[in-house]
Structure 1
Amino acid sequence: MPRRRIGFWYRFAAVLCKPPLVVLIKRDWRGMENIPTEGGFITAVNHNSHVDPFAYAHYQYNTGRVPRFLAKAGLFKKGFVGAAMRGTGQIPVYRESTDALSAFRAAIDAVERGECVAFYPEGTLTRDPDGWPMTGKTGAARVALQTKCPVIPVAQWGANELLPPYAKKPNLLPRKTHHVLAGPPVDLSRFYDKEMSPDLLKEATEVIMAAITAQLEQIRGERAPEKAYDPREVRIAQRRRAAAKEKAQAQQEEGQGA
């Protein structure tokens, strides 16, 4: 696969990060043939460890198409970190924007320049108790439908065994294996040239998340839950339970007062 110009900062980051990753993690990397050799595209990746952005970046770096991750715009203004973010071509997300699509304008520009833009559609570490992908946010779908670029679903597993979600200490031994499987492009053509309504974006996002989950099922050799974990639904249910509990307590206190 031909290697594109990577640049000083990305090579410098690789010099710093690759040696410890090689020592700490074994690799089972598959599906590199599905990474486009030319043109802009999106990779949509599941997120289950604070380590996996580095482990996944290692995989993507070795394909010759380095990923441009989305990050909070404020990080690009802070000293060495900001210089590294800018130098490696990472993409600022302007969350203060009131226009949902313009918040991803830099990602759209990067795809149109022929870059690989890496999305974590879940937006945060999965909260699914068994590590399966959660419901996704619509950013990747917005950029994909705006640019009509390929969307490559990528599943990973193993970094979460080295450092489980929200854990503070890694499990170094025995040495863990980082499994990555990139699938063929997700077919989103039926959504093209239509109004980007919330329902359409939600449906396109569900298609992307289903493709990621299918790749992870292959890695893990087991079936995912039929319904993806939805943090919003969980929060609503928690609030309802709390409100019901408060109401019951109030009624109990009222009865005792009588």
Structure 2
Amino acid sequence: MDITYPITIALAKTWFRVADMKINMTGTEHIPREGGALLAINHLSYVDYLMAGYPGEKQGRLTRFMAKREVFDHPIGGPVMRSFKHISVDRSAGLESMERAEEAIRAGEVVGIFPESTISQSFLIKELKTGAVRIAARADAPLIPVVLWGTHRILTKGRKADLSRHQRIDIEVGEPMYPTGEDPIAETAELRSRMEAMLDRLILATPAEERPEGAWWLPKQYGGSAPTIEEAAAAYAEERRLRAQRKAAARKKG
């Protein structure tokens, strides 16, 4: 029985109303009202879990998100995540995490996955991992692309939170795919292509006054100053190198 999840949803909807947030959603009918499904969601910010669950809520569904194990290890966040029945992802044991997701979907749950794995600092669709199509194929379930736009302006990596009122969030739920798993690379490329087209629609649907030249929240190809996919990838690689370096230094001290 779910107790904390519905309460959190109610609190989130209160926030949306108080902040007069303008949430525009299309395609929610693609999320089934019953039965298992896998949602493949782009990753722009730290509030994506909250926003990406909204389309399912409109269909009377609770989305069980796949999230990195470190979140579950947190003394406060861990119990909350488990109470929501979210799924822990241990990157060193990926197959086990996929099996848990598959089991949840076969049990009739809607599961959410971020196939980019990390936040896209270019705000475009990064290269996707093949896990999404493989899980959907193994579970014999629809794979439904969900693309968010605007969440990064609230809280994203390297930026201070902006909780100002009247923020605009756009969400498009795409038509389901039915992967076979016979060619995960090609099916993942198709998923990325669909998500890129969806993101393009959402960005171009944003009023011109919210797309000022040089804005940090706009990808370069749309006139903004966000890093390119290549620049963001290089920055992420450097970040991982420094993190590994710090861990190695800590081990030596220990």
Indicate the TM-score class for this superposition, using the shorter chain for normalisation: 0.7 to 0.9
Larger CA Rg, structure 1 vs 2:
1
Say which SS state the counterpart of residue 61 (structure 2) adopts. coil
Task: Note if contact 1:135-1:230 (Cα within 8 Å) is conserved in structure 2.
Answer: no
Residue equivalent to 2:229: 229
Q: 1:38 to 1:235 in 2, by over 3 A?
A: same
Corresponding letter in the other structure for 1:143: I
Deviation at 1:237, TM superposition (A): 10
Alignment of 1:92-241 (within 5 A): 92-97=88-93, 100-128=94-122, 131-170=123-162, 172=164, 175-188=166-179, 191-192=180-181, 194=182, 200-221=183-204, 229=229, 234=234
Deviation at 1:187, TM superposition (A): 4.2
Deviation at 1:107, TM superposition (A): 0.5
Alpha-carbon separation, structure 1, partners of 2:4 and 2:167? 28
Say which SS state the counterpart of residue 101 (structure 1) adopts. helix
Corresponding letter in the other structure for 1:108: E
Is the counterpart of residue 10 in structure 1 residue 2 in structure 2? Answer: no
Residue equivalent to 1:249: none
Say which SS state the counterpart of residue 46 (structure 2) adopts. coil
Alpha-carbon separation, structure 2, partners of 1:28 and 1:127? 23
Q: How many residues are aligned here?
A: 218
Say which SS state the counterpart of residue 108 (structure 2) adopts. coil
Alpha-carbon separation, structure 1, partners of 2:220 and 2:105? 31
Residue equivalent to 1:254: none
Is the counterpart of residue 23 in structure 1 residue 26 in structure 2? Answer: no
Alpha-carbon separation, structure 1, partners of 2:199 and 2:236? 28
Residue 76 of structure 1: which of 69, 72, 77 is its match?
72
Residue equivalent to 2:55: 59
Task: Note if contact 1:70-1:90 (Cα within 8 Å) is conserved in structure 2.
Answer: yes
Identity of aligned residues (%): 28
Deviation at 1:66, TM superposition (A): 1.2
Structure 1: runs of 5 or more not aligned: 1-5, 195-199, 239-258
Say which SS state the counterpart of residue 53 (structure 2) adopts. helix
Deviations 1:194-231 (A, max 9, x none): 3xxxxx33222211121112222222238997xx9368
Corresponding letter in the other structure for 1:177: R
Residue equivalent to 1:256: none
- TM-score, normalised to structure 2, is 0.75
Alpha-carbon separation, structure 1, partners of 2:220 and 2:178? 21
Corresponding letter in the other structure for 2:117: G
Corresponding letter in the other structure for 1:213: E
Corresponding letter in the other structure for 2:106: E
Task: Note if contact 1:51-1:159 (Cα within 8 Å) is conserved in structure 2.
Answer: yes
